Structure 1
Amino acid sequence: MRLDDIVIPDTPACRAALEAATAYCTPSLLGHSVRAYLWAAAYAQARDIAFDAELLYVAAMFHDIGLVAEFDSRTVPFEEAGGHVAWVFAAGAGWPVERRRRVSEVIVRHMWDEVDVTADPEGHLLELSTGLDISGRRPEDWPAELRAEVLARYPRLEIGKEFTACILEQGERKPDSLAGRFVRGGVADRIAANPLDR
């Protein structure tokens, strides 16, 4: 599989989601969001996992928006804040209520340890792809040539350092959140050892 084999949906909602993510995310966080979609779609295509490309793309663009200062919530975990932002975005895009709920659900679930592919293929794919991109989990599930091609076109920049700072800060402020649990579980060390940065 090559990067050009990955289908990026070209819909008004996807174009607007990329525009919004570009406006609010740092270059490192934006690149992470784009790679999250690419890793997810490549994984699905290689394994014949049927998924809603538009839903997954919009979720990927907004999955970490709750880490951005403008959308950082004092009261809820960052993935829930991101889910709320995506719900509002999807309402503006004219999506029906059930589809708005789904995009929010996919974003919240990307922080889970595991998401059942049969119950939620998009949540499953985003959980796997963000695990690869942030902490280098299971890189062997993506061909080395594809990994190199994606990273050449969408370089990692400072995502390791930037995400570590964000997750540590979230964990300190919200110790009962999944971010807090990840921090206590040594996520900073896993990010520092990510093989994608070698």
Structure 2
Amino acid sequence: MYTTIADIKIPDSKLALGAAELLREHGDELLWNHSHRVYLFGALQGKQANMKYDPELLYISALFHDLGLTKHYSSPDKRFEVDGANAARSYLQQNGVPDESSRLVWDAIALHTTIGVAQYKESEVALIYSGVGYDVMGENFEALTEEVRNQVTIAYPRNNFKNRILPAFLEGFKHKPETTFGNIKADVCGLLLPGFKPTNFCDCVLHSPWQE
């Protein structure tokens, strides 16, 4: 475990280390490296913008943000983001963390793929969203220097991340593709899931049971 990367400290409290152990146990190398890069890229952008945030809560949010994709935490009928958020909230509640802090972490995880909303919420929520966007899609890429990016990716390598993350997403919700209705993960199903037919919102309106 690294202690500091690009002048960002990796939280090492008992709560943070416990969350890291859960990610090690139930995740894999892809999620381990991605989750740490999300924390670091989020924290770096927060530092750059002089935002105040709780590093421990940001770190735990990053560690849990994709755990809803894993078999251990995946439900049969909820969005994977909600599964991860519920797992994090349960972990925090079991460790006596105040409800307000648990809510912040829940929101950060549940909203991390919600474009147009998460970036306007509290710092922890906004920074998880921006950390994910930076690592997955290269959003705001030039905000960080190449030197800083290299420090992060040397510590937590990408290892062909572009080509590995989309199948990893699908593996996490291919048993419940209907949960991607209305969110960006429907694009993953459309690309990789044979025979997938996305639900159309306009059809839902026009074919509703209202008699008119």
**Normalised TM-score (structure 2):** 0.79
Q: Which residue of 2 aligns with 1:123?
A: 125
Output the amino acid matched with 2:134: L
Q: Which residue of 2 aligns with 1:10?
A: 12
Distance, in Å, in 2 between the alignment partners of 1:185 and 1:37 is: 29
Instruction: Note the C-alpha offset of 1:114.
Output: 3.3
Q: Which residue of 1 aligns with 2:177?
A: 173
Q: Which has the higher helix share?
A: 1
Change over 3 Å in CA distance of 1:185–1:47 after alignment to 2: farther
Change over 3 Å in CA distance of 1:72–1:117 after alignment to 2: closer
Instruction: Note the C-alpha offset of 1:117.
Output: 5.3
Output the amino acid matched with 2:85: G
Instruction: Note the C-alpha offset of 1:9.
Output: 2.2
Change over 3 Å in CA distance of 1:180–1:119 after alignment to 2: closer
Q: Which residue of 2 aligns with 1:23?
A: 25
Q: Find the residue that maps to 1:156 and give its secondary structure.
A: coil
- 1:62-101 aligned at under 5 Å gives the runs 62-101=64-103
Cα contact 2:33–2:157 (8 A) shared by 1: yes
Output the amino acid matched with 2:7: D
Change over 3 Å in CA distance of 1:9–1:180 after alignment to 2: closer
Output the amino acid matched with 2:33: G
Deviates most, 150-159 or 125-134: 150-159
Larger Rg: 2
Distance, in Å, in 2 between the alignment partners of 1:80 and 1:41 is: 23
Distance, in Å, in 2 between the alignment partners of 1:25 and 1:158 is: 17
Instruction: Note the C-alpha offset of 1:100.
Output: 1.6
Gaps of 5+ in 2: 193-212
Distance, in Å, in 1 between the alignment partners of 2:101 and 2:135 is: 26
Identity %: 29
Distance, in Å, in 1 between the alignment partners of 2:119 and 2:166 is: 28
Give the superposed CA RMSD.
2.3
Instruction: Note the C-alpha offset of 1:71.
Output: 1.3
Output the amino acid matched with 1:125: L
Cα contact 2:111–2:118 (8 A) shared by 1: no
Instruction: Give a deviation string over 1:18-69, Cα, whole Å, max 9, x none.
Output: 1111111110111000110000111111110111111111000000000111
Cα contact 2:75–2:83 (8 A) shared by 1: yes
Gaps of 5+ in 1: 188-198
Change over 3 Å in CA distance of 1:90–1:8 after alignment to 2: same
Distance, in Å, in 1 between the alignment partners of 2:161 and 2:138 is: 12
Instruction: Note the C-alpha offset of 1:176.
Output: 1.1
Distance, in Å, in 1 between the alignment partners of 2:190 and 2:131 is: 19
Q: Which runs of 4+ in 1 moved over 6 A?
A: 184-187
